[in-house]
Structure 1
């Protein structure tokens, strides 16, 4: 390349909703328009352009003379979404289809002699985008259209170097270099090749040189890299290879020497086991939508990721910006690359998808940070029939083979997260909430994810002992809304969900929270919305920590990818918020996401005084080194503490059974406690962790007469052991304790009694009056991972329940709720059901469940005035765990007292 001319900056822009521009000769010059700055996403202009789809035009005048004899001028676009047609001085020059990939057009013969050249680009982004690769733009989040990446001119000789691809061969200490020329030369061309460390900051000449002959358009040769340093996240050593030919044309490529592979279920990077601690990254930005604002912005993101213990980002259904990949190479961040999906399975849609996939691989081939290519994500584009559609199975298998032939140096995931056909990565997308679903998450890990790998393959296709990765999981934590409003100078446009009808549920819209915060008495539980968001992030931290700890205990996993790195508009499961502010302290994240962590497995988090607690310790060590040190533990507020030496081999998981044992001390009432544990390694590295406990005395002073309505004899006996007295009639009772809504329960309301209705079985209760219940999704559920539960702490007095509910409620979390808002029930067909907001209007809400932005709201504990009596209805599993969970009795006592 002789010269490069930057064309970013001010362009003229005009939309063309009637698509009459070409008929009216706009290609010769726009008749009117606004000034915009390219790179430009027209949705960032707001107003009518926010939802505009269709045709728009760009124009720029530049001063450039015709090149000399034997020279060419090419107009380059890094990406235009979606279709671009280009005219130079009113003459049609060329077109390109594909919203994420680069293209260039030879405009040499379109230039005029005046030196003033008019470039006109018509961009078309169709409203119906089901058959074009789009990713999540427009379906989940704000759409993206326009000349959204760089534009420039290059002046070249007629014969020039089109590309350089470098394939590292670490075993043989050499690199396979492929130099592609613009055309096959008339006779072989001599090329001078040199290679230096990158960046080359040395005053000394460090270049290794080679002369080769290039007889073809595409030429491949070996280049010695003897003694070269290998690229890794801890040591991102890079090299730059330069190629020059006799006419003065030069090109260069930056690459790294690294090798990624797998064997018998283990990932290897440069011959060493690799454990992925990744995050899904959708690479949306608060102001610029799809473009990172600056290099500094990118650098800050990657540095924050590394501080939190992450070593990989999975770039989710978006071909990432070249500058991001450059800095991932420089700073040492592994990348899992994934092309944008289409939606509708057609020959046209598949063709466009494959073209984008191949263009992505061609463009990004040299980045050592990229270790995995994905083909599909969750069958998006395959219409979710892969398991039974042989045509699609053949398509996926052949596409895997084609990509492997294009790039044998990387691993390939055929269908991320869902059922596989042919793959190098056996990955799973599994969403559970913690602490509520601890047993379900453990069972899913042991019986499905690592228990039987054949369950994740289409019938007739077999596992090749690929590494197992949980490549999506996560929980939500709401952001600081005041900061968002301050940043935007008001309400962000995306507070009204910008997705299509498939993603417009109430919990996905921040506008929902504005209405429901007061409507459902959250203002009685929290001083303001900011306090609610604060405790939701505490819940998120607790849940993510527990989900990851369970994975780190299992040696058969090769890593995980949390959903997600940053919030994206309404989706708030990021470790950073949308403004790239951390929701948690990085050092706190490393307690469960570091290279070496310790995981306590407590036999019983909620224990009675006098119980013996046993704690097993799991050490997850991915340092490749054996470690020696001491464990120090203690429970503040008690005399319980201790220490002991530990020697860990260089194994991924080491288990110490019954490492800690103690008797629970006496307390006067239930108390929340923390187990604090630290592993101090002799080399100076520490890892620490804090786990929630609760100690409680048994309830002995339940001094009331109660009528047992449909209670089992065992439950009646338990209440009597707590100090209560069972009576034979409602009139004798002070309180009716009911497992069903019996005539006696109704009688109690007429006689001014207190009735506690333990509705934990929900719609399975044979007699439940007019109460209707909503079953919470059992097992894996993306929607439930957005959920949170909260309580009115004032009502519960001295009973130690956190506002957002923590491990103190283990075993008591409800399986169902009283629905306040409308909801749907999945079965043979989707059934749409009504909630009952009247309960919220006529009750005191003491416990509540909601999803996302205070959508899908329901009560788990309410207090009503019925007749002349008082009724408490709760779906907490208090009766089921009355004799095993210490807090259950104390909650019931608080209600009765």
Structure 2
């Protein structure tokens, strides 16, 4: 059982803004949940329909680590086009999930399974999901409350499940050669090469079980309307009585200050309701910064969302949090809370040598955010990865701006378009409530649209991705194709790995240099604007630069960066010179250094792959900040 201390108005509910980083869905918390991570049975050879009932002749795998990784216990980095998992579900799991007479529905949550998942309980097909980086939920009430079928048997190799009363089986497909799958940095070669890394197949984020009442709160979406108003969209599951209301209570826990209590009536047949939450204290413009969220002052507001029956009794209650802040662009700058903010970002691959795209521990997600800030950055670009929501919680809590980015597919086809649009829409919906997310990046460096400079269809696709992002979330800037060849971007981003600080300074010196850059071919021999796009005065950011190779310890034969330092002093001098060039520019509105950590053969990180700094953090910080 995972029960967390602290309540806001509702007994037993966790304090969302002060959670410990364990809960898999940090902005909609209940008091009980069953963590199903741990030892499962595993098969990666063969594909037998009989395995839907379990398979005793199997190996153990430690979920949620992918089988390619050492942390999983499998440690086989080759191709895994089909993998099978099985785990016993025990009476203790049901109890930990909170299943009782008041919480009658059982929901099985998967944080992410790459790429296509099919799920059975006791041989009964429950559901399926396609999309390797986004969550899905299956209602398993009938399957887990009915007696197990005689043909089902708990997998014998799943340690700790000898008292299982049901068998959960997952089959995952992940074709390494299917270039229409959104895959990000996962290599299509068997061995990692160039800028691509070993794959992450199957279950790679937390699997958990939760009991909920009927009706129940199914999802929350917070939106900053303006500086003093939030809008909460509440989605409901199940049939609710006529006259049911949603109540929202907001509390600033830091100052023990009640901020608002509002209610809205749910329509008789509606499964979604918008609740406007005015924060009256923000009407005093002279004091509004006291509560605003920013990297320097990441204030969070706790909220309890209660589903109230017509007679006043509670049908369901969840705890959440939000941050009050606005994002915009104007005057060639990025604006946070109406103020020009220099976006000082670092490229974060979110890859660990022992566990690949899965963090080795949940505490590692917090440490990642802390390290980024300690190095002098106020932002991170999560590159080609939809990151674990618990990373975003720590970004919210500790104050880090985040660019949310889609993992790209490599091919352009109707199938690739459908897959990425669907998965990206799910990602935006999942993450839009996080105040730390300030920019959306649905495409990068023309991945999946390699001929966008000349192909009207690919230009239309990139514009459509940007526009559907704006339709889902009109409150944040959108970059249609990070790096170059922008058909329609709110921020014009450029990737430039020039290693000489003086030459970099000339490229970005002044308005004349800006005009020359946007009118011609960019640093990578790619035009910055395509498909009739125009310079509308958007902010220009250098969103990849640096990439200086430095190996302070043992030398890798396959190691590389965009340039190479002779030693630690030369490395710091190069970082300083490149940042001096950025600081000298009269028009650059932000930058993103490549990259946070060494990642396999890429040894151009500020940190080693194990997250230790290559030089003292203070030296790196001074180079980044210039002081």
TM-score bracket for the superposition, by shorter chain length: 0.7 to 0.9
| Structure 1 residue 135: Cα displacement | 0.4
Question: Are 1:104 and 2:129 counterparts?
Answer: no
Contact 1:400 1:423 in 2 (8 A): yes
Identify which of 280, 287, 291 aligns with 1:226: 280
2:198 counterpart of 1:126: no
For 1:164, the equivalent position in structure 2 comes to: 220
After superposition, the Cα gap between the structure-2 partners of 1:450 and 1:574, relative to the gap in structure 1 and judged at 3 Å, is: farther
Gaps of 5+ in 2: 1-29, 149-163, 189-195, 283-290, 309-313, 521-527
**Do structure 1's residue 153 and structure 2's residue 209 form an aligned pair?**
yes
Secondary structure of the corresponding residue to residue 560 of structure 1: strand
- Is 1:425–2:491 an aligned residue pair? yes
> Could you tell me how far 1:74 is from its partner in structure 2?
1.3
Which one of the candidate residues 174, 188, 193 is aligned to 2:248? 193
State yes or no: 1:8 paired with 2:8: no
Does structure 2 conserve the Cα–Cα contact (< 8 Å) formed by 1:279 and 1:561? yes
Q: Does the alignment pair 1:271 with 2:338? A: yes
Identify which of 58, 69, 72 aligns with 1:44. Answer: 69
Count of paired positions: 542
- Deviations for 1:724-749, whole angstroms, at most 9, x for unmatched residues? xxxxxxxxxxxxxxxxxxxxxxxxxx
Identify if the C-alpha distance between structure 1 residues 211 and 152 changes in structure 2 by more than 3 Å, giving closer, same or farther: same
Q: Cα deviation per residue 1:446-479 (whole Å; 9 max; x = unaligned)?
A: 5655644344211422122111100001132333
1:113 equivalenced with 2:147 (yes/no)? yes
Q: Is the 8 A contact 1:78 1:102 kept in 2?
A: yes
Whose strand fraction is larger, Structure 1's or Structure 2's? 1
Quote the residue 1:586 is aligned against.
Answer: 617
> 1:352 maps to what in 2?
419
- When residues 70 and 331 of structure 1 are mapped into structure 2, their CA distance, relative to the original with a 3 A threshold, is closer
2:477 aligned partner = 411
Contact 1:476 1:537 in 2 (8 A): no
Q: Which of 372, 376, 394 lines up with 2:460 in the alignment? A: 394
3-state SS in 2 of match to 1:104: strand
**Map of 1:211 onto structure 2:** 263
1:30–1:481 CA distance, 2 compared to 1 (3 A): farther
Partner of 1:412, secondary structure, is coil
CA contact (8 A) 1:81 1:100 kept: yes
CA distance in 1, matches of 2:36, 2:613: 36
Q: Do the aligned residues in 1 keep the contact of 2:552 with 2:567 (CA within 8 Å)?
A: no
In 2, the alpha carbon distance for the partners of 1:439 and 1:307 equals 29
Show the counterpart of 2:569: 538
1:469 pairs, out of 541, 546, 551, with 541
Question: Once the two structures are superposed, what CA deviation does each residue of 1:745-802 show, in whole Å capped at 9, x if it has no partner?
Answer: xxxxxxxxxxxxxxxxxxxxxxxxxxxxxxxxxxxxxxxxxxxxxxxxxxxxxxxxxx
Residue 460 (structure 1) aligned with residue 460 (structure 2): no
Determine the C-alpha separation between the residues in 2 that align with 1:48 and 1:225: 51
Question: 1:575 aligned to 2:606?
Answer: yes
Say which one has the larger Rg: 1
1:30 deviates by 0.7
- 8 Å Cα contact 1:2/1:249 also seen in 2: no
- Contact 1:195–1:209 (Cα < 8 Å) also in 2: yes
* Secondary structure, counterpart of 1:154 in structure 2: strand
Hey, what's the Cα distance between the residues in 1 that align with 2:580 and 2:83? 50
Q: Check the 8 A contact 2:44/2:80 in 1, yes or no.
A: no
Shift of 1:5: 1.7
Task: Give 3-state SS (helix, strand or coil) of 2:442's partner.
Answer: strand
Say whether the 8 Å CA contact 1:427–1:471 is kept in structure 2: yes
Question: Given that residues 375 and 617 in structure 2 are in contact (C-alpha distance below 8 angstroms), is that contact kept between their aligned partners in structure 1?
Answer: yes
1:603-633 alpha-carbon deviations (Å, 9 max, x no partner): xxxxxxxxxxxxxxxxxxxxxxxxxxxxxxx
Separation in structure 2 between the aligned mates of residue 433 and residue 586 of structure 1, nearest angstrom: 22
Deviations 1:548-574 (A, max 9, x none): 111211121101101111111110111
Q: Structure 1 residues 434 and 239 mapped into 2: Cα distance closer, same or farther (>3 Å)?
A: same
Distance 1:348 1:70, change over 3 A: same
Matched, 1:260 2:260: no
Query: How far, CA to CA, are the matches of 1:132 and 1:260 in structure 2?
Result: 31
Secondary structure of 2:258's counterpart equals: coil
Work out the CA distance in 1 between the residues paired with 2:447 and 2:433. 28
Aligned to 2:154: none
Residue of structure 2 equivalent to 1:489: none
Q: Match for residue 592 of structure 2?
A: 561
Q: What are the superposed Cα offsets for residues 359-418 of structure 1, whole Å, 9 maximum, x if unpaired?
A: 111111111111000010011011x21111111212222222221111111111100001
**RMSD (Å), alpha carbons:** 2.4
- Alpha-carbon separation, structure 1, partners of 2:271 and 2:169: 32
- Tell me the CA shift for residue 286 of structure 1: 2.2
Among candidates 136, 140, 153, match of residue 185 of structure 2: 136
Deviation at 1:445, TM superposition (A): 5.3
The whole-number CA distance in structure 2 between the counterparts of 1:161 and 1:91 is 27
Q: Is contact 1:79–1:99 with CA below 8 Å preserved after alignment?
A: yes
Is 2:51 the partner of 1:35?
no
The CA deviation at 1:48 is: 7.2
Match status 1:61 vs 2:96:
no
Distance 1:3 1:441 in 2: 55
Distance 1:443 1:78, change over 3 A: closer
**2:365 paired with 1:301:** no
Q: 1:130 to 1:256 in 2, by over 3 A?
A: same
Q: Does 1:91 align with 2:91?
A: no
Residues 82 and 99 in structure 1, CA contact (< 8 A), matched pair in contact too: yes
Quick one: distance in 1 between partners of 2:509 and 2:201? 41
- d(CA) in 2 for partners of 1:30 and 1:224? 55
Residues 424-463 of structure 1 deviation map (CA, whole Å, 9 limit, x = unaligned)? 110100111126xx33652465565564434421142212
Secondary structure, counterpart of 1:232 in structure 2: coil
| Structure number with higher relative contact order (C-alpha < 8 Å, ≥ 6 residues apart) | 2
For 2:344 and 2:33, how far apart are their aligned partners in 1?
40
Partner Cα separation in structure 2 for residue 534 and residue 421 of structure 1 = 36
Whether contact under 8 Å (1:67, 1:108) holds in the other structure is: no
Deviations 1:631-678 (A, max 9, x none): xxxxxxxxxxxxxxxxxxxxxxxxxxxxxxxxxxxxxxxxxxxxxxxx
- In the TM superposition, residue 166 of structure 1 has moved relative to its aligned partner by 1.0
Give TM-score scaled by structure 1 length: 0.58
The residue that corresponds to 1:548 in the other structure is 579
Alpha-carbon distance in 1 for matches of 2:77, 2:565: 31
- Measure, in 1, the Cα distance between the counterparts of 2:355 and 2:74: 15
Matches of 2:494 and 2:234, distance apart in 1? 38
SS in structure 1 opposite 2:499?
coil
Which residue of structure 2 lines up, in the alignment, with residue 251 of structure 1?
Answer: 318
Pairwise mapping of residues 553-702 of structure 1 onto structure 2 (< 5 A)?
A: 553-594=584-625, 597=626, 687=627
Question: Using a 3 Å threshold, how does the CA distance of structure 1 residues 4 and 207 change in structure 2: closer, same or farther?
Answer: farther
Query: Is the 1:175–1:223 Cα contact (8 Å) retained in structure 2?
Result: yes
SS of equivalent to 2:62: strand
Residue 508 of structure 1, CA deviation:
5.0
Query: Following TM superposition, by how much is the alpha carbon of 1:205 offset from its aligned partner in structure 2, in angstroms?
Result: 6.5
**Residue aligned with 1:472, SS:** strand
